[in-house]
Amino acid sequence: MPENGPYVSWPRQTEILHEMKKILFTLLLPAIGIILYSQKVSGPLMPVTTVSVKALEYYNEALKCFDDVNLKKGHDLLVKALKEDSDFFMANYQMAMYCIWTEDLQGFEEYSEAALSSKPGLSQAEEILKGAVSRLKDYPGADVTDAGKKLVEMYPNDINAYNNLIYFQSIINDQKGQLETVEKALKIAKNPAPLYNTMGYIYLALKQYDKAESAFDKYIEADPRNPNVYDSKGDFYMVKKEFKKAYEFYIKACSMDPGWDNDKALRAKALYEQTEGKRIDIITM
């Protein structure tokens, strides 16, 4: 979380908790977008309103990137969406949340203000999120879980309602609540992979390592072609101080995507050699 938010100091988290927040942030992003006139507010999914088809296309592409934890590309696509429709509430909202994660106070102020200034015509769900943004703007540590619970009540079959609640619970470090919400979300999720990832990091923060490993293994099983599944398992081994295994999983992630950052792999290698007094042959990618 940002260190110096408006009216309050935002403490810097440990590295692994920062990684956990990254994963939780990605779950906040809804997995579907719809044009204002294409779905009624009473439908089974939370409406996402925009007047631009092109903005909607960029938005949906961004969601796929966030699902794979490709945050930079997802961010860039949201920027493109806002160039097409600067009044696109959900894009501004997600960008505001992104700026919380990246500790960009100026960006958070800009995008939260844009979200709050959205023109009339938002769906009821968006109005609820707008209220949450307003409270977070006043106090970054505000408890807005009531907004997430309301969305789940209104849209019990929409995974995005649960994702918002999970994120809001993370803001107040309600890990027990997060786990309960994740379990409920798994019952309706068409793609359970991101939820298993979230569950793994929550259990890791709670030092319940057997449950964390089980969740990360389910993440790998659910999405084996995503390099992030191996990166997450590498994080698990780093916390367990099993640095050689961490190195191997980080390298596997890098081998699947040439653009993947190998800094964590090199750090795991260095820690193994420092603690064990042995060298690891660098695995070529």
Q: What is the pLDDT of residue 85?
A: 96
Question: What is residue 98's predicted lDDT score, i.e. its pLDDT?
Answer: 87
- Predicted local confidence at residue 14, as pLDDT: 40
* Residue ranges of the chain whose pLDDT lies below 50: 1-17, 21, 23, 26-42
Residue 39 confidence (pLDDT): 36
81 and 88 in contact (C-beta within 8 Å)? yes
- What is the pLDDT at residue 19? 52
Q: pTM, whole model, 2 decimals?
A: 0.83
Q: What is the pLDDT of residue 9?
A: 26
Are 140 and 5 in contact, with CB atoms under 8 Å apart? yes
Query: Which pLDDT does position 237 carry in this prediction?
Result: 98
Q: What is the pLDDT of residue 32?
A: 35
Instruction: List, for residues 19-72, the tens digit of each pLDDT value.
Output: 554 545 544 444 333 344 333 344 588 899 999 999 999 988 997 888 788 888
pLDDT for 5? 30
Please state, in angstroms and as integers, the Cα–Cα distance from residue 122 to each residue in 17, 27, 36, 134, 146, following that order.
Answer: 34, 22, 8, 15, 19
Q: What is the pLDDT of residue 43?
A: 58
